[in-house]
Structure 1
Amino acid sequence: MQRIPVGFGAELRRRRIEAGLSLGKLATLICFSKGHLSKIERGVKAPSHDLAQLCDSALNAGGQLSSLISAPERSVDEAPLTDADVAVPWTLRMQAGGESDFVAFDPTSPGGGSVPASIVSWSLAPPLLESGETNSALPYFRNVFDEFRRLGQLFGPAVVAQLCIAATSALRGMAHQAQPAHRGVVLRLASRFAEYTGWMAQEAGSDAASLWWTEQAVQLAADGGDDELAAYALVRRAELALYTGDSMATVQLARLAGQQARSARIRGLAAQREAQGHALVGDRDACRRALDRGAELTSGAAPPGDADPVLGSIHLPDLTAFVAGWCMHDLGSPAEAVTLLGDGLDAIPAESRRARARYGARLALALANVGEIEPACAIAELVASHVALIDSATIRADLLRLSRVLNRWPKNPTVRRTLPHLAIGLHTHRIGPGTPG
């Protein structure tokens, strides 16, 4: 309830009478009703700042009436930001139709299982798009997707995943308002954001979240008329099985992906994943056959620039050589792996930290296993510095293997200098509530 300032009504009445104005005349001058003004003079109703300023002007009071009113009490929603407000937790609930609700919570409100009090809330309605607006917006979202991919090479999931999730939701909402001719394109682009979110989840070490987002991507793509992402999702699932050491599931999922895929690229990626599965169990012949098939399928030209974004890795200049080197190492032939990987690290741009770290980890592992300790350690330190920034659970798995290999030379001064760097790279930096054990 608004507080009635003491003395305002009496002062207003005194100044009105001194100015020779009737209550009705002043009410006319300031465009308020006579009854409203009467209640203010009698102290029954509180004046607003607008009314006080109008009366100041009409009575030449020089701001004296306004000064009798204290600064307006701000509602919780209008309170200025403080240092504590910047750190408050918030949530953004995004609905399938494009509606969103933003809520910031009061960290000082009592807990006990109850929902904390909100400091500010904001509801966002879905976009209302005219014909043609959706199509004109798509190039911007496509550019955003490419930028997010580049950002994912520089920083970790804590930065990139949140941006991808918001973009996925925005496009999903746009699809509900889009014209039928454009709806499929919007949904397919949304599916690429969702799929990349799944990759970021895997890099963060959450296989469950990775699978969930990949399934969301499959559904969005299917709704947009693209069934090919379903085949690629099997390649992604095969990769998750690969990192858990499940060779049988890796091979089975990769073969199923190859059978379902229509494009040569997805069939090629599936063959490469199958080869990695065979390498896990030492089946050299099956591995080489799959590698040859993958090399043949992926040697074709990339899709045109105006097509849907390319699925799979785009930051490794020679993906075929990288996968072959990976397989040779797992087959117990690190010398062959070194030959295949060779100088490929230098061909990866400096800004592609994630790709350089992934490639470098495998190259350092192969070098260490052939006794090339000095170059292995030099690359290992580079990889560790990158992983500390990009937060990759998959590359940390290789770093852990590398650390164990290097520990076979505990007295080597280069190894002793490098191992602390690897320890920093293996540290996840996740601290606080909800940190995985």
Structure 2
Amino acid sequence: MPDVDPYFAQTLRRLRLDRGLSLRDLGRLAHRAKSHLHELETGRKQPSTEVAHHLDQVLDANGRLASLVAASTSDRDEAEALELLRLADASGVGADVLDHIERAVDDLASGYATTRPTDLLPQVRQALAQIGRLLGSRCTLEQHRRLLVAGGWLALLRATVHIDLRQRAAADRHLAAAAQLAGHAEHREIQAWCLETRAWEVLTGGDYRRALDLSRQAQAVAPRGSSAYIQATAQEGRAWARMGHRRETRSALDRVARLASPLPPPDRPEHHYRYDPGKALSYTATTLAWVGDPAAERYAREVVADLDGAGRPRRTASARLDLGLALLAAGKPDEASAVAEAAITSGRVVASNWWRATEVVTRVEGTGISEARDLRDAYETYRPYR
């Protein structure tokens, strides 16, 4: 069991007091002994992920407690990442084991779109640990390379989940591990995805020029026409949009359209590292909304209509935020407030994407409409961090 995170204890106590609950009240609602809750609040006991999830539900905390449990393992993250790289330098792994691992990698990458980050992280960690053990065993050069590639994809996915949880140090470590594993395996697409992922991270942090540079580096590294190449091109368009350069934004979108149009639908369109041509419409809506292009509203409405009921709640929430931004540009703040509130109260806007909700809420408030107060209340209630 990892060391107890004192911030978890403080956060649990604050959430309980904010809701006017005594320890006895919380124990009754959560079906937990008062003494157990007292130990959690005083930092004497480390909660399990399951307990943290349950308390999140009881306290309407939108995953904050569970994310802190995941964050408390960050010290162990560094040791795991370093151990994985140490074992990668070593050179019986059967074909059936490798096939199983590669299927598991695809399953986890496909589950990213629908699984909460706090639920996905332990699954990715477990799979990486298995690969680490196998890298230390005897295997052929080809088997070793397949393990390196699988480890590279998983380290990249793990970094992405850490970004979603706003765990920057852990994300940095695993992005570096993914890049080094990809270098060992001479796998250019993973290397490009590492650059693209970093571009997205700095874009959400407001460093648009660096995001542009990283997107271009990713395109230079990626195999031409690969998923990483297309995604990095789309990321370039987003960076131009955030800087307000309409001509360059449109040029990037046109390039994405040309690259994606001849592609057949992938077998698993939800796979995070396989470009789905169906996503092109979503990227167009997002990018045009950010640059303030009037055409954004039409694209954004079409994306929301396509996603409603499609079982992709995270993408649907993001699409509604895009639509809200487009509606504001079109002078429709009332509807913008309504669709943004629907996105926020869905509980599917991850922490790393919360800045998009902040932007819509702030702009709605700037219009002075009465609905802005309800939108702000929803924003504060569902905000994944304080």
Q: TM-score, normalised by structure 1?
A: 0.62
Q: Aligned letter for 1:407?
A: E
Match of 2:375 among 418, 423, 431: 418
Which structure has the larger Rg? 1
Q: For the aligned residues, what is the CA RMSD?
A: 3.2
Structure-2 separation of matches of 1:262 and 1:425: 40
The alpha carbon displacement at 1:410 in A equals 4.2
The alpha carbon displacement at 1:399 in A equals 0.6
Partner of 1:276: 238
Partner of 1:347: 306
Contact kept in structure 2, 1:381 and 1:418, CA below 8 Å: yes
Q: Which residues of 2 match residues 366-405 of structure 1 at below 5 A?
A: 366-386=326-346, 388=347, 390=348, 392-405=350-363
Structure-2 separation of matches of 1:331 and 1:176: 49
**Match of 1:407, SS?**
helix
Structure-1 separation of matches of 2:291 and 2:323: 15
1:359 maps to 2:316: no
**% of aligned pairs identical?**
19
The alpha carbon displacement at 1:394 in A equals 2.9
Partner of 1:244: 205
Q: Aligned letter for 2:359?
A: R
Structure-2 separation of matches of 1:177 and 1:131: 8
Partner of 2:112: 152
Partner of 1:76: none
Partner of 1:233: 194
The alpha carbon displacement at 1:198 in A equals 0.9
1:224 maps to 2:182: no
Structure-1 separation of matches of 2:275 and 2:99: 22
The structure where strand makes up a greater share of residues is 1
Structure-1 separation of matches of 2:237 and 2:369: 37
1:140 maps to 2:135: no
The alpha carbon displacement at 1:397 in A equals 0.4
Contact kept in structure 1, 2:199 and 2:212, CA below 8 Å: yes
Larger relative contact order (Cα-Cα within 8 Å, sequence gap ≥ 6)? 2
Structure-1 separation of matches of 2:99 and 2:323: 38
Structure-2 separation of matches of 1:304 and 1:280: 30
The structure where helix makes up a greater share of residues is 2
The alpha carbon displacement at 1:313 in A equals 6.2
Runs of 4+ in 1 over 4 A off after TM superposition: 82-98, 302-306
Structure-2 separation of matches of 1:147 and 1:87: 34
Contact kept in structure 1, 2:327 and 2:335, CA below 8 Å: yes
Partner of 1:210: 171
Measured at CA, do residues 406 and 263 of structure 1 come closer, stay the same or move farther in structure 2, by a change above 3 Å? same
Measured at CA, do residues 289 and 161 of structure 1 come closer, stay the same or move farther in structure 2, by a change above 3 Å? same
The alpha carbon displacement at 1:203 in A equals 0.9
Partner of 2:151: 190
**Match of 2:247, SS?**
helix
The alpha carbon displacement at 1:302 in A equals 5.8
Measured at CA, do residues 378 and 142 of structure 1 come closer, stay the same or move farther in structure 2, by a change above 3 Å? farther
Measured at CA, do residues 160 and 312 of structure 1 come closer, stay the same or move farther in structure 2, by a change above 3 Å? same
Structure-2 separation of matches of 1:163 and 1:400: 30
Structure-1 separation of matches of 2:138 and 2:263: 32
Structure-2 separation of matches of 1:194 and 1:157: 14
1:266 maps to 2:228: yes
Structure-2 separation of matches of 1:142 and 1:374: 48
The alpha carbon displacement at 1:228 in A equals 2.2
Match of 2:135 among 156, 162, 175: 175
Contact kept in structure 2, 1:269 and 1:298, CA below 8 Å: no
Contact kept in structure 1, 2:156 and 2:175, CA below 8 Å: yes
Alignment gaps of 5+ in structure 1:
1-81, 99-129, 429-436
